[in-house]
Amino acid sequence: MVIIAPLLCGLIFGAGLLISGMVQPTKVLGFLDIFGTWDPSLAVVMAAALAVSVPGFKLAGSNSRPWLAGQYFLPGKSGIDLRLVAGAALFGIGWGLVGLCPGPALENLATISPGVIVFVVAMAAGMIAHDIWQLARLSAQRELASATDG
Amino acid sequence: MIEYAPTAGDLLWPISLPCRPQSAALIGLSAVLLMLSTGRIAGISGIFSGLLNLRGEDKGWRIAFIAGLILAPVIAGLVGYGMSPPKLPTSWAVIIVAGLLVGFGTRLGGGCTSGHGICGVARLSPRSIAATVVFMVTAVVTVAITHHVLGG
């Protein structure tokens, strides 16, 4: 069950992206093109998803623990910081360049299209680059701290 | 101006499946079910990036979710609603730079359209609402520049 639940959730998520049109980059770019021939239908996508997720998350919040796990894994951070804003800004530029965000990018792997594979590899490289940069930053900070201690 | 390569789908399969935006309720349903069952946020960038480290634990549910995501169009194809390959820019440089920005940015900002836009906004998280506003704005500006300023 621990594997079947996320598998089913992935299938449902994929079906939602597929049928709503969110999986097509041209459709997404049409929605983002508010100064051109704007296609507002993806606003309905956001609204339809939220219409279910808002009451659903409220319901989940009233359960003391999930069905198949001992605890909820929720993000701990609460403040709006520079990292959040800069990260979201960079992500938006990448999204606007091609029309793929992570979910539709992974789902489009099903088409075995070379462009999608290259995009997903670049996306993974960007994620790894971030994590390496963070590790380097942390160890530099630690070195600095121990240097001042010594 | 970004040029888009024609795909096989343009000739063979001009979007066989009609788009029904309201079916995105399924995305919300999936996020809620994942939270109710496993206690996890259905944020695709987070689920995927969790697979990119060498630590062994905590990978099974991530692989299962992404497998489901990729299997969805495969199953749809088997019942006659196939997905045509997406129309992407012809320039590899644009694809690679966009991929790097999406990967780096979602890690730095702690989420993407699903994690911040669907789950975080539904939880009324101020961080997610701010992130969603920021990435929508920069995406709209990027499209405006590439399609209208550079495209003439």
Give pLDDT tens digits for A98-138.
999 999 999 999 999 999 999 999 999 999 999 999 999 99
- Given a contact cutoff of 8 angstroms between Cβ atoms, the answer to whether B32 and A25 are in contact is no
Q: Is residue B103 part of a domain?
A: yes
Is B5 part of any domain?
no
What is the arithmetic mean of pLDDT over B44-66?
A: 92
Indicate whether A126 belongs to any domain.
no
Q: Which of A75, A92, A97 sits opposite B136 (nearest CB)?
A: A92
Q: Does A40 lie at the interface with B, CB-CB under 8 angstroms?
A: no
Range of the domain at A58: 4-111
Contact A44 B21 (CB under 8 A): yes
- The parent domain of residue B110 ranges over 10-149
- Per CB-CB distance under 8 Å, the chain A contacts of B27 are 12-13, 16-17, 20, 22, 45, 48-49, 53
Domain annotation covers residue B1: no
Which of the two residues, B116 and B10, has the higher pLDDT score? B116
What is the pTM (predicted TM-score) of this model? 0.91
Task: Report how many domains make up chain A.
Answer: 1
Q: Residue B118 carries which DSSP code?
A: I
Q: Within a domain: residue B4?
A: no
Residue B41 lies in a domain: yes
- Measured distance CA(A12)–CA(A35) in Å, rounded: 33
Residue A95 lies in a domain: yes
Is the pLDDT at B12 greater than 70? The verdict is no
At B53 the pLDDT is 87
A147 to chain B, any CB pair closer than 8 A? The answer is no
Domain count within chain B? 1
pLDDT of amino acid A112: 93
Does B3 fall in a domain? no
pLDDT at B9: 46
Closest CA to A22 of B113, B88, B11: B113
pLDDT(B11) > 80: no
What value of ipTM does the predicted structure carry? Answer: 0.94
The answer to whether position A33 is within a domain reads yes
What average pLDDT score do residues A95-100 get? Answer: 97
B122 in any annotated domain: yes
Residue B118 lies in a domain: yes
B91 touches chain A (CB under 8 A): no
Tell me the per-residue pLDDT of A10-55, one tens digit each, with 9 for 90 and over: 999 999 999 998 999 999 999 999 999 888 888 888 999 999 999 9
Beta-carbon separation of A2 and B73 below 8 A: no
Q: Is residue A9 part of a domain?
A: yes
- The answer as to whether A121 is a domain residue is no
| pLDDT at site B64 | 97
Give the closest-approach CA distance of A105 to chain B in angstroms: 9
CB contact under 8 Å between A92 and B142, yes or no, is: yes
Question: Where residue B6 falls among pLDDT bands split at 50, 70, 90?
Answer: low
Binned at pLDDT 50, 70 and 90, residue A64 comes out as confident
Number of other residues whose CB lies within 10 A of the CB of residue B35: 27
